[in-house]
Amino acid sequence: MTMTAPEKPVTTKTQTLLDARAQHIPRGVSALTPLFAARAEGAKLWDVEGREFIDFAGGIGVLNIGHAHPKVQAAVRAQLENFTHTCFQVVAYGSYIKLAEKLNALVPQKAGQTSKTFFVSTGAEATENAIKIARAFTNRPGIISFDSSFHGRTLMGMSLTGKQKPYKQNFGPFAPEVYKTPFPMPYQGMTTKDALAGLEHLFDTQVAPEQVAAIIIEPVQGEGGFNPAPAAFMRSLRNICDKHGIVFIADEIQCGFGRTGKMWAYEHSGIIPDLVTIAKSLAGGLPLAAVTGRADIMDAPHPGGLGGTYAGNPLACAAGLAVLEIFEEENILEQAVTQGDYLERELKALQSDFPMIGDVRGLGAMMAIELVKDLEKKTPDADTATKVVNAALEGGLIVIKAGMHGNAIRILVPLNASHAELEAGFKILRKAFETVYKK
- Residue 172 CB neighbour total at 10 angstroms: 10
From first CA to last CA, the distance across the chain in angstroms is 49
| Residue 99 near residue 320, CB atoms below 8 Å | yes
Contacts of 128 by beta carbon, 8 Å cutoff, 6+ apart: 152, 154, 156, 157
Q: What is the pLDDT of residues 92-142, one digit of tens each?
A: 999 999 999 999 999 999 999 999 999 999 999 999 999 999 999 999 999
* Start and end residues for every CATH 3.40.640.10 domain found in the chain: 74-329
Fold topology of 13-65+331-438: Aspartate Aminotransferase, domain 1 (3.90.1150)
Using the CB atoms, write b or e for 203-227: b if 16+ within 10 Å.
Answer: beeebebebbbbbbbbbbbbbbbbb
Where the chain has pLDDT below 70, the residues are 1-10, 439
pTM (2 decimals)? Answer: 0.95
Residue 402 CA to residue 63 CA, distance in Å, equals 18
| Residue 62 near residue 281, CB atoms below 8 Å | yes
- Residue 361 CB neighbour total at 10 angstroms: 21
Q: Which pLDDT does position 11 carry in this prediction? A: 72
Per-residue three-class SS string for the chain: CCCCCCCCCCCCHHHHHHHHHHHHCCCCCCCCCCCCEEEEEECEEEECCCCEEEECCHHHHCCCCCECCHHHHHHHHHHHCCCCCCCCCCCCCHHHHHHHHHHHHHCCCCCCCCEEEEEECCHHHHHHHHHHHHHHHHCCCEEEEECCCCCCCCHHHHHHCCCCCCCCCCCCCCCCCEEEECCCEHHHCECHHHHHHHHHHHHHHCCCHHHEEEEEECCECCCCCCCECCHHHHHHHHHHHHHHCCEEEEECCCCCCCCCCCCCHHHHHCCCCCEEEECHHHHCCCCCEEEEEEHHHHCCCCCCCCCCCCCCCHHHHHHHHHHHHHHHHCCHHHHHHHHHHHHHHHHHHHHHHCCCEEEEEEECCEEEEEEEEECCCCEECHHHHHHHHHHHHHHCEECEEECCCCCEEEECCCCCCCHHHHHHHHHHHHHHHHHHHHC
Of the candidates 364, 403, 339, the residue with the CA atom closest to the CA atom of residue 266: 364
Residue 2 CA to residue 372 CA, distance in Å, equals 61
- Residue 164 CB neighbour total at 10 angstroms: 10
Residue 48 CA to residue 12 CA, distance in Å, equals 9
Burial class (CB in 10 A: 0-12, 13-18, 19+), 12: exposed
* Start and end residues for every CATH 3.90.1150.10 domain found in the chain: 13-65+331-438
| Residue 214 near residue 144, CB atoms below 8 Å | yes
Q: Which pLDDT does position 439 carry in this prediction? A: 63
CATH class of the structural domain 74-329? alpha beta
Q: What is the pLDDT of residues 392-415, one digit of tens each?
A: 999 999 999 999 999 999 999 999
